[in-house]
Amino acid sequence: MAWRLLSLLLLLPACSAWWAAAPVDRPLPDDSERLVRRAEAAAQRGDHAEATWLFEEAVRSAHPAYGDRALIGLTRLLVLPEYAGRDYDRAARMAERLVREYPGSPYAAEARAWEDLLAAYLTRSRELEKLERELGESIRELERRGQELTRLQHLDQELELRTQELKLRTQELERQKRLDQELERLTNDLAQELERRTQELQRLKSLDLQLEKQQQKKTP
């Protein structure tokens, strides 16, 4: 309900009665009436920055007889969607000030409505900003984790490649070991054969010497 009322109040600038003054009789101790009227005229023609400045000047008057009217004007201006300088937080402060300083003003009821609506809106805006920050942090954390996951996947791929290389090298080492064992076996066999033949050669030499001696004995 509050948001529908806020939307309705935001449509008020389209109405010509938006800047109409409430009927009131009061003395004019300063120049605030002239400033307020100029501000309202500037607001009607769409010169929002000029209107804001004039309303502020009226509020700053020494004894602003039209201070409540200037404050409600500021409140209305600062919530206009088409005003580049709109400031909902400041508008809420202007409405609160009007209620506090001019409780009997004909604009007090409208100011209270603005105060309540803007307070609810600003509270919700802060909640949304907090949620947006938390969402942004969550997104950044997810991105960080995604990057970490990608890095770990690359490490896994690198580890798999290294594992395959190690497996191949292990297989090559085993093959080399088998070759070394075969070479050692062949070397041992060759050494044994060489030893056998050496012994056979020694035996044959001994036989040759014996035969030679026997022949020498037979010869006169």
**CA atoms 183, 184, 185, 186: torsion sign:** positive
From 83-92, 191-200, 205-214, the region with the lowest mean pLDDT: 205-214
Sign of the torsion angle spanned by Cα atoms 134, 130, 77, 3: positive
Average pLDDT of the residues in 116-135: 91
3-state helix vs strand vs coil in the chain, percent to 5: 80, 0, 20
Q: Give the pTM.
A: 0.55
Answer whether 95's CB lies under 8 Å from 115's CB.
Answer: yes
Asked if the model's pLDDT at residue 5 lies above 70, the reply is no
Superfamily of domain 2-127: Tetratricopeptide repeat domain (1.25.40.10)
User: What is the residue extent of each domain of the chain?
Assistant: 2-127
pLDDT in tens, 14-29: 443 455 544 444 444 5
What average pLDDT does this structure show over 187-207? 86
Q: Which two tokens mark 58?
A: 């009226």
Nearest to 18 by CA among 35, 39, 3, 49: 39
Tell me what pLDDT residue 200 has: 87
What rounded mean pLDDT belongs to the chain?
Answer: 84
